[in-house]
Amino acid sequence: MDNIVPLPTPSCFLSDSYIQYAWDSTSLGYLKTCPRLYYYHMICGYIAKDESIHLRFGSEYHSAIQDFEIHRASGLQFEDALRETVRLLLIRIKDWDPDITTKAGTYKNPRTLVQLVVDYFDNYRQDSAKTIILENGRPAVELSFRFALDFGPTGHPETQYMLCGHLDRVVTINDNVFVIDHKSTTTTLGDYWFNQFNPSNQMTLYTFAGKVVMDMEVKGIVIEGAQIGLEQFTTRFARGFTYRSDDLIDEWLNDLEYHLNAAEAFAEAGHWPMNDMSCDKYGGCRFRDVCSKNPSVREHYLKSDFIQLPPEEKWNPLKSR
């Protein structure tokens, strides 16, 4: 068949409601940080104007690492795999033309992306972390997962909540299994930066998901930080480990039920309250200026300072990469 049209991604919300049944770490993180933040992103589909640059840069970085691992697993030598990875990357970003007069575009653009990718592979050329090869012969990279929990929205007992996401890479280090998660940052890769991942919604979920997906004893997550220098484009790489016991995971799952009950209540009420203790976190919420305005004029500021994505482009945990 020549004209295969992919099926549209199903909504992560129950039909005719704002009750979300499929959750990933991003949407759950928004909810936990601030229900209003969740509302602006997940319900309304607002993103900051430069957010698309960060998303594209991160997405292409992940894809390049995935490509490289697949080529290495197929038997290509390092330089050959790198050459093919760069070629595929250049093809994908051929039409990517971020505004390099913006702050984000200054250090996240096609040129810096290629630099980061080459630097990354050179840095980890001799690596103690070995990618697990799955039974089908493919490397364990970009593993998408979906699984159901044993509870659902209280008003919809026929539905089970789902947890979804993508594991960047699963590796063994000294015979222990870890999930690697790639992060790029402009912050110095020290204890201060790595400490943010314990406790961490995403890392606990990914440890749990790793156990389910791999059916192995996953010790935790390796955060693979890529530090990007702003003033002149420099790169630095460092790894941090964060571990999760089964008791910690069970506690997280227990708390999850409360959070999702709250999300259901917000959706049924049609009101997502502001958590004004989160506004200054992580360098300041992108919606901070909006929330500081009178409610009657917020819509105006949202329209002028943000992009509202069409429904099919809104963040959706069920969307395939």
Tokens of 245: 């016991």
Single out the residue of 112, 202, 207, 227 in contact with other proteins (rule: CB under 8 A): 112
Angle, CA of 73, 145 and 4, to the nearest 5°: 80
Tokens of 11: 């909504």
DSSP string, 38-104: HIIIIIT-EEETTHHHHHHHHHHHHHHHHHHHHHHHTT--HHHHHHHHHHHHHHHTTT----TTSHH
User: What is the smallest separation between the CB atom of 73 and other proteins, expressed in angstroms?
Assistant: 10
Asked whether position 200 contacts other proteins by CB under 8 A, the answer is: no
Asked whether position 24 contacts other proteins by CB under 8 A, the answer is: no
Single out the residue of 43, 86, 129, 274 in contact with other proteins (rule: CB under 8 A): 86
Site string for other proteins, 241-270 (x = CB under 8 A): ---------x--xx-xxx--xx-xxx-xx-
In 139-191, which ranges are E strands? 141-148, 162-173, 176-185
User: What is the smallest separation between the CB atom of 235 and other proteins, expressed in angstroms?
Assistant: 8
Single out the residue of 12, 28, 42, 213 in contact with other proteins (rule: CB under 8 A): 213
- For residue 36, CA distances in Å to 172, 271, 288 come to 40, 8, 11
Closest to 227 (Cα-Cα) out of 197, 192, 196, 183: 183
Tokens of 295: 């409610």
Q: Which amino acid is at 172?
A: T
Asked whether position 238 contacts other proteins by CB under 8 A, the answer is: no
Asked whether position 182 contacts other proteins by CB under 8 A, the answer is: no
Tokens of 229: 């220098």
Cβ proximity to other proteins: between 101 and 296 the closer is 101
Task: Give the C-alpha separation, 33 to 118, whole Å.
Answer: 35
Single out the residue of 25, 201, 204, 235 in contact with other proteins (rule: CB under 8 A): 235
User: What is the smallest separation between the CB atom of 196 and other proteins, expressed in angstroms?
Assistant: 25
Angle, CA of 247, 182 and 78, to the nearest 5°: 125
User: What is the smallest separation between the CB atom of 303 and other proteins, expressed in angstroms?
Assistant: 26
Single out the residue of 16, 158, 175, 231 in contact with other proteins (rule: CB under 8 A): 231
Asked whether position 43 contacts other proteins by CB under 8 A, the answer is: no
Asked whether position 305 contacts other proteins by CB under 8 A, the answer is: no
User: What is the smallest separation between the CB atom of 79 and other proteins, expressed in angstroms?
Assistant: 8
Residues that bind other proteins (CB under 8 A): 70, 80, 82-84, 86-87, 90-91, 93-94, 97, 100-101, 105-107, 109-112, 114-115, 118-119, 122, 134, 136, 138, 141-151, 154-155, 160, 162-163, 208, 212-213, 231-235, 250, 253-254, 256-258, 261-262, 264-266, 268-269, 271, 273, 320-321
